[in-house]
């Protein structure tokens, strides 16, 4: 018999969210920093130094924030599983009725729901309750280290893009080039993320470019307003 395999986009949701968030934040925050400082009439060296500092600080911040956030989710899952494990050890009948009720609520007849609950409990009681009562599965379970690494590395890659543009172009063209190329990068990222997630490619690109434009315009305005010409 041939094994039937299926591809589901939800399998990507854990790393995709962290990677897209990191890369988007890297592009937007670094490009905005560079544009804001450039609009304030800083010299080329100061602009590059600001962008590099933003890259390092942002990557570390993303890693720490993602690790703490996902660790909290992981702690909650562990506590729920420990509670469920204790309940299974001390009150099996109530847990079986609870599982049966869940399957009845999903459309099974009471007799069939009871049989399913019995068989799943015999096979893996904790796994059945984790999946069907708590909603914890291998696909969506928290992985703090994976999320932290994905966020930090994707932020660094995203932040490096406008920084490289700023390094390559003369100061007179820096704001226009960084803004234009960063919006192109954001559009490509948004389109790719939408495609992987099965959403509309153009909508994904438009969302990214809209918020990127807003952020860069705001920092450019602040830089122009408070900046002082530097000879």
In which residue ranges of the chain is pLDDT below 70?
1-18, 133-142, 197, 227-231
Residue 75 and residue 94: Cα distance in Å, rounded?
25
**What is the reported pTM?**
0.69
Query: Is 36 buried (19+), middle (13-18) or exposed (0-12) by CB count in 10 A?
Result: buried
Per-residue pLDDT of 143-199, as tens digits, reads 778 878 888 899 999 999 999 999 999 989 999 999 999 999 999 888 887 777 677
Q: What residue segments make up the domains of the chain, in order of their start?
A: 12-87+142-226
DSSP-H helix ranges across 137-228: 144-168, 171-197, 201-226
């Amino acid at each position: 018999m041939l094994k039937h395999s299926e591809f589901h986009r939800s399998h990507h949701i854990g790393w995709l969210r962290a990677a897209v968030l990191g890369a988007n934040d890297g592009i937007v925050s670094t490009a905005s920093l560079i544009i804001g400082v450039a609009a304030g009439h800083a010299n080329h060296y100061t602009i590059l130094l600001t962008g590099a500092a933003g890259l390092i600080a942002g990557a570390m911040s993303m890693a720490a924030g993602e690790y703490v956030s996902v660790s909290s989710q992981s702690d909650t899952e562990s506590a729920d599983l420990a509670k469920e494990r204790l309940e299974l050890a001390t009150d099996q009948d109530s847990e079986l009725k609870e599982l049966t009720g869940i399957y009845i609520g999903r459309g099974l007849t009471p007799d069939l729901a009871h049989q399913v609950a019995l068989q799943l409990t015999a096979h893996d009681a904790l796994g059945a309750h984790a999946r069907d009562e708590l909603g914890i599965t291998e696909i969506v379970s928290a992985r703090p280290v994976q999320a932290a690494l994905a966020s930090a590395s994707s932020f660094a890659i995203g932040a490096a893009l406008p920084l490289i543009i700023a390094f390559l172009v003369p100061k007179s063209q820096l704001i226009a080039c960084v803004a234009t190329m960063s919006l192109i990068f954001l559009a490509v990222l948004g389109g790719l993320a939408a495609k992987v997630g099965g959403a509309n490619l153009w909508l994904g690109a438009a969302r990214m470019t809209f918020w990127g434009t807003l952020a860069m315009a705001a920092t450019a305005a602040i830089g122009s307003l408070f900046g002082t010409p530097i000879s």
